[in-house]
Structure 1
Amino acid sequence: MREYESFINNKRAEMKPSGFFVERKSLHSSLFDFQKDIVHWALRRGRAAIFAGTGLGKTRMQIEWAMNVHRKTGGDVLLLAPLAVATQTIREGEALGYTITMCRSQDDVQPGLNITNYEMLHKFEPIFFDGVVLDESSILKSFTGKVRTELIEAFAFTPYRLACTATPAPNDYMELGNHAEFLGVMGRNEMLSMFFVHDGGDTSKWRLKGHAEDTFWKWVASWGVVLEKPSDLGYSDDGYILPPLTITDHVIEVEGELAQTLSQRQKARRETIEDRAATCAEIVNATDKPFLVWCDLNLESELLTAAIPGAVEVKGSDKPAHKEKAMLDFAAGKIRVLVTKPKIAGFGMNWQHCADMAFVGLSDSFEQVFQAIRRCYRFGQTQPVNVTMITSSREGATAENIKRKENDFRNMVSEMVKYTKEITSESIRATEREVTEYDAKIPITIPTWLRSEQIAS
């Protein structure tokens, strides 16, 4: 083990901090202690990632980080975010007393903080920005390889870079590799060859070398902070205790054999759309509470919107302006029921005002289901959250499967946090002990009696 660590340390160049020091007390007073320390650490690093559980205040941390980069450099900072999340971020900035300009192209950029959607990146000149923030940066892996490469290459020379996202699955090494490459820490392929071995013919199956596990997570913790709750870094969890989450099955009995394969499940879903939509509408119409309805097919969405009075539909073909307005109106309570898909609205939105949701059509992606539930089930939620999985008897019960995957995910995250918490906590708190750097503004004047020529004479 020691020989391997020595090999790694000799082989790779340590990415030293490339940021700057700010007085912790100068950070915005509304930030909690753990948020201030994370921002303080990320500014010192210069290029860093914040992997934090939903509702821990990543938006405020990234805004404060961006503002301090602007103050230090006098240059502009670009924040990239999913659709509708940009407007949500602007409002968070206003709450901090900061102005963030919504931009559609480089022509809209104003001095200071600017924000746009990922889809608009091609209309900007990254070289003109001193800092960049990727909000919901895990969205990188949902993009095509072309867009992922474009993001990495576009900001390769940006001095200050911050990536913020929810805690990744510990075995999602590609996501960690994408982040390391974006931050300029190490290329993804180099990371894989250094820490991993390849299992069989499936190129997505990489596993950590047995003797490299500890070294790998130490390396991750050197440029990324990982936490699910404040106590993971030694802070109080006051205000960060989630209410109960209940996931239940509502199985509709229909004729036909139980689907065994993916294609059979998809066929069963298509053939039971009307039954599932009618059942969901009955549940939603029986209450006057805010309700979030997730579907997977356009026909499901259309039937649900027609059967639920006042429901607003957001589908992929809608114009960006409609999508954004509907999601923000739902957040503001102007819409009681929102019908949409996880791949459209499953990232970034804060909908803690809503505690009831239903899945009428399920994607086979656990991550999409997980992220969709987290729009409501996140820190700041005060009510018990109820999730109803509506399926037909041909699909079988899904709630137990979701619960099992949820438990597996939680266990894996706990292991990752356990591996990194001491290293990360020590790293973050170490910035508190650093001596303030002297930033010289006026040239020093040396008295004549100290000059070398005077001494020589």
Structure 2
Amino acid sequence: MDNYKAFLESKIVVAENFGTKIDPAILSPKLLSHQKVIVPWCIEGGRRAIFASFGLGKSMMQLEIAKQVIAITGKPFLICMPLAVVGEFRRDNEFLETGYPVHYITDTDEANVAEMAVYLTNYERIRKGDIDPSVFGGVSFDEASILRNLKTETTNYVLHYFKQIPYRFVATATPTPNDFIEILNYADYLGVIDRGHALTRFFQRDSTKAGHLTLYENKKEEFWKWVATWAVFINKPSDLGFDDHGYDLPKLNLHEKEVTNINLDVITNKKGDIVMFKDTTKSLIDVSREKSESVDLRVDTAFDIVQENGKHDNWILWHHLEAERVEIEKKFKSSPHHDDLQSVFGSQTNDEKERLLIDFSEGKYQILSTKPKIAGSGCNLQHHCHKMIFVGIDFKFNDFIQAIHRTYRFGQTNEVDVWVIHTQNEREVLKTLKEKWSKHIELQTEMINLVREYGLNSSKIKSDMKRQLFNSRRSATVAGATVYNEDTTIIHQEMPDNHTDMILTSIPFGDHYEYSDNYNDFGHNYGNEGFFKQMDFLVPELHRTLKPGRVAAIHVKDRIRYSHQNGTCFTTIDDFSGDTVRCFRKHGFYLVGKITITTDVVRENNQTYRLTWGEQRKDATKMGVGLPEYVLLFRKAPTEMNNAYADDPVVKKIDEYLLSLWQLDAHAYWKSSGDRFLSFDELSKADMKYVFNKWKSFDASTVYNFQEHLRVCDDLDKTGKLSKLFMTIPPTSNSDMVWTDINRMNTLNANQANRKREKHICPLQLDIIDRLIYRFTNEGDLVDDPFGGLFSTAHQSLKLNRKAVSAELNPNYYDDGLFYLKALEYKLSVPTLFDMLSA
């Protein structure tokens, strides 16, 4: 028990320390109080994120971290940043007096690696692979928006190569609410957790839509506590207990300016079809088209706003299209008040962009026109500007909020005014931006509360998280079933030797799902390896408690590994069933059989997108096949080895198990009668229920012909009756080793749905349970299900006049399963008319 408890506590996820502890006294005296506690925490952690609000000195902290890491590693330090921020770092380094020079490089060859210096580069150089990370002792990503999307070339390069660097840091404002994926990408880059592990641990998968993830409601607290062990969120110094003097933000005034864009041309949708009204939904194509059609209208409106609200003030005009930039220059430079407008755009040299942005930050000209993706990150423009206009908007919230905070940041002495220009057809875009802003504030609040509660004390967080070990046992006995709400390993440790007559269960499929919100959950592990480490505590107990010679029937399925999990560009399969066999054999069981249960390949593809018809036509080599499920049959050796019989054999009476039934079970090979399946004309007129039943009868009674099967599917497709949601006419089997006649809706989950209760994630079908129980037990035997779920096994055991014992960790599953057992007990105990006559 002590070893098992220690194992469970080892599953508590907190970020390890990968760095070196330093004396805060050696830090620069020019650092502010909050910076003096964040920097040592980062260096001791070695791989940490600074999510600090705009104006809290992220560049100062990164430069001090660089100074300390250079001294520790004896290697230069690299800071990657947006191009426009280079000047900020140079100025801050002069102020901080780090003692190390700062050099901007476009290629590693430009760096004198023997010189201890801070090297700056931009993300374009990272993207092109010009920077060799191996020469640096540490790296920091400033405004690391490139890691927001795993599919980008830059992100792939960073995750593959920059993990070589021992000291790794991220410094950016609060991450954007992009389904939390951005935070996971930062964690992956820093090496504090594997992204796949984090996805499984904290996020609920949508089985009907691949890639759609939501944070488990019961995992929110644990998720944010885990993040707080490797990332510090801070909005102002008081979040870490320091004085906020000088850190009061002014008022932010958001002005929504809607303009009417009337187009008298024929209106078409994104497919080119003529429609009556424009599509005002979230279609990117329609948003882009609307922006292109309304450039003149929006630029004219921006000009009027400047004239009416301070034509002598400094302004930033944010835009997204080159056509907008051209029109802005044309409109504003023709006015005598605004002829000093300067544009910063992509084709300019890096030096020219940097010069223009620094000049504006120092108030040397009045109006800056640029794109958020060029100057929206890192620039400090608050000293001479407090007014801006979004001449156009799009769905990119991160660009939007970053651009606002170029002037709305600590050090700003005026109220900040932001105008957002949009057409009547872009209301949905604005609505989406405001919803993301609300979620952004929610995310900040969650993390700031944790920082205020725990500070930067990861040990305190870990101690608090230990409370999530399960300690609320319940139990009940219903008819002949005893069920527990408890960790199954603990229950089986308490069971006597040679106690059960059969083990029948569907084990968790590794760390694919978590069924409960505590660390005892077998799904709460890191990969298959972690899962089977926990199984190593349970399986010996299953072997010990099973009677000699009896069978353990274990329901499993192999696991899909996506490209981001396996390090390839294609999907592979984990041999989870093989790992299960190895685990059970290691602990004394003997494998005596495998039953294959086919699954619906069309439904599987809708959940995984790995077997798509379109990709099959592009390149069949990347496509596998659908994954069946298996029931693995294990046996505990009998006490006596002079024959193969169990100590307590499962005996079938001759009048119950007929020779004819045995022959059909053992070898169900049926010759063809010459009958055939329906023709195309017959199919086009037939009801699909009738078609399915006729196919099932035909396929089971004839020698299988693949070409005939394909022909029928093709004919159904031509009639529009081949479903894309499920396999319309699946192959059937005549062998007891492959069961294709399972009613996959026949589970206690069907009742769960009717009762509007939570579904069990991977239920075992009732008819499978019935067939296994009948085959491997006698009446009155005790059937053990270590992973009870809704107690389906116990339920069917009682129906078949057996007894049951089962454990389930999830309290909701336990309650619902107990309801079904009690309902069954009531049904079985109701006297019948014949009972009354007999009495």
- Normalising TM by the smaller chain, what interval? 0.7 to 0.9
Q: Corresponding residue for 1:362?
A: 393
Code of the residue aligned with 2:301 in structure 1: it is T
* Higher relative contact order (CA closer than 8 Å, sequence separation 6+): 1
Q: Which moved more, 1:57-66 or 1:411-420?
A: 411-420
Deviation at 1:43, TM superposition (A): 1.1
Deviation at 1:252, TM superposition (A): 2.9
Q: Corresponding residue for 1:301?
A: 325
Deviation at 1:147, TM superposition (A): 1.4
CA distance in 1, matches of 2:396, 2:161: 29
Q: Aligned pair 1:349/2:371, yes or no?
A: no
CA distance in 2, matches of 1:202, 1:419: 33
CA contact (8 A) 1:295 1:341 kept: yes
**Structure 1: 5+ residue stretches without partners:** 431-457
CA distance in 1, matches of 2:287, 2:6: 51
Displacement over 6 Å in runs of 4+:
5-8, 397-401
Sort the Cα spacing of 1:368 and 1:143 in 2 relative to 1 into closer, same or farther, 3 A. farther
Code of the residue aligned with 1:234 in structure 2: it is G
CA distance in 2, matches of 1:14, 1:107: 38
Q: Corresponding residue for 2:353?
A: 323
Deviation at 1:272, TM superposition (A): 2.2
Q: Corresponding residue for 2:415?
A: 384
Deviation at 1:271, TM superposition (A): 2.3
Q: 2:255 aligns with which of 248, 251, 276?
A: 248
CA distance in 2, matches of 1:323, 1:200: 47
Matches within 5 A, 1:56-135: 56-98=56-98, 99-109=101-111, 110-121=115-126, 122-135=129-142
Q: Aligned pair 1:273/2:304, yes or no?
A: no
Sort the Cα spacing of 1:362 and 1:242 in 2 relative to 1 into closer, same or farther, 3 A. same
Deviation at 1:297, TM superposition (A): 1.5
CA contact (8 A) 1:247 1:399 kept: no
CA distance in 2, matches of 1:295, 1:200: 39
**Structure 2: 5+ residue stretches without partners:** 264-276, 333-338, 462-839
CA distance in 1, matches of 2:425, 2:190: 46
CA contact (8 A) 2:343 2:370 kept: yes
Deviation at 1:184, TM superposition (A): 1.3
Q: Corresponding residue for 1:191?
A: 198
SS in structure 1 of the partner of residue 224 of structure 2: helix
Q: Corresponding residue for 2:42?
A: 42
SS in structure 2 of the partner of residue 318 of structure 1: coil
Q: Corresponding residue for 2:590?
A: none
Deviation at 1:186, TM superposition (A): 1.4
Q: Which moved more, 1:316-325 or 1:79-88?
A: 316-325
CA distance in 2, matches of 1:318, 1:178: 31
Sort the Cα spacing of 1:128 and 1:319 in 2 relative to 1 into closer, same or farther, 3 A. same
CA distance in 1, matches of 2:9, 2:156: 28
Deviation at 1:253, TM superposition (A): 3.9
Code of the residue aligned with 1:324 in structure 2: it is E
CA contact (8 A) 1:222 1:424 kept: no
CA contact (8 A) 2:84 2:353 kept: yes
Q: Deviations over 1:338-387 (max 9, x none)?
A: 11111222111111121000011111222221111111111121110001
CA contact (8 A) 1:169 1:413 kept: no
CA contact (8 A) 1:253 1:392 kept: yes
Q: Corresponding residue for 2:235?
A: 228
Code of the residue aligned with 1:282 in structure 2: it is D
SS in structure 2 of the partner of residue 123 of structure 1: coil
CA contact (8 A) 1:38 1:428 kept: no
Code of the residue aligned with 1:349 in structure 2: it is C
SS in structure 2 of the partner of residue 358 of structure 1: strand
CA contact (8 A) 2:77 2:119 kept: yes
Sort the Cα spacing of 1:54 and 1:13 in 2 relative to 1 into closer, same or farther, 3 A. closer
CA distance in 2, matches of 1:35, 1:428: 21
CA distance in 1, matches of 2:425, 2:53: 35
CA contact (8 A) 1:50 1:163 kept: yes
Q: Deviations over 1:398-440 (max 9, x none)?
A: 777655543342133212322454234434999xxxxxxxxxx
CA distance in 1, matches of 2:288, 2:109: 46
Q: Deviations over 1:207-252 (max 9, x none)?
A: 2334333222222111111122222222222211110000112233
CA contact (8 A) 1:302 1:313 kept: no
Q: Aligned pair 1:260/2:280, yes or no?
A: yes
Deviation at 1:78, TM superposition (A): 0.8
Q: 1:311 aligns with which of 337, 341, 344?
A: 341
Q: Which moved more, 1:280-289 or 1:337-346?
A: 280-289
CA distance in 2, matches of 1:407, 1:215: 22
Code of the residue aligned with 2:415 in structure 1: it is P
CA distance in 2, matches of 1:292, 1:64: 32
Q: Corresponding residue for 1:237?
A: 244
Q: 2:163 aligns with which of 135, 143, 156?
A: 156
SS in structure 2 of the partner of residue 247 of structure 1: strand
CA distance in 2, matches of 1:8, 1:195: 17
Sort the Cα spacing of 1:89 and 1:203 in 2 relative to 1 into closer, same or farther, 3 A. farther
Structure 2 length normalisation: TM-score?
0.48
Sort the Cα spacing of 1:281 and 1:196 in 2 relative to 1 into closer, same or farther, 3 A. same
CA contact (8 A) 2:250 2:413 kept: yes
CA distance in 1, matches of 2:356, 2:459: 39
SS in structure 1 of the partner of residue 225 of structure 2: helix
Q: 1:374 aligns with which of 402, 405, 416?
A: 405
Q: Percent identity?
A: 35
CA contact (8 A) 1:311 1:339 kept: yes
Code of the residue aligned with 1:269 in structure 2: it is K
Code of the residue aligned with 1:108 in structure 2: it is E
CA distance in 2, matches of 1:419, 1:401: 28
CA contact (8 A) 1:227 1:421 kept: no
Which has the larger Rg?
2
Q: Aligned pair 1:208/2:228, yes or no?
A: no
CA contact (8 A) 2:256 2:420 kept: yes
Q: Corresponding residue for 1:438?
A: none
Q: Let me know the Cα RMSD of the aligned residues.
A: 2.7
Deviation at 1:131, TM superposition (A): 0.9
Code of the residue aligned with 1:267 in structure 2: it is R
Q: Deviations over 1:274-305 (max 9, x none)?
A: 12212212333551211100112211111111
SS in structure 2 of the partner of residue 120 of structure 1: helix
Q: Aligned pair 1:333/2:357, yes or no?
A: no
Deviation at 1:142, TM superposition (A): 5.3
Sort the Cα spacing of 1:296 and 1:229 in 2 relative to 1 into closer, same or farther, 3 A. same
CA distance in 2, matches of 1:184, 1:395: 40
CA contact (8 A) 1:258 1:393 kept: no
SS in structure 2 of the partner of residue 155 of structure 1: helix
Q: Corresponding residue for 1:410?
A: 441
Sort the Cα spacing of 1:171 and 1:249 in 2 relative to 1 into closer, same or farther, 3 A. closer
CA contact (8 A) 1:76 1:113 kept: yes
SS in structure 2 of the partner of residue 41 of structure 1: helix
Q: How many residues align?
A: 427
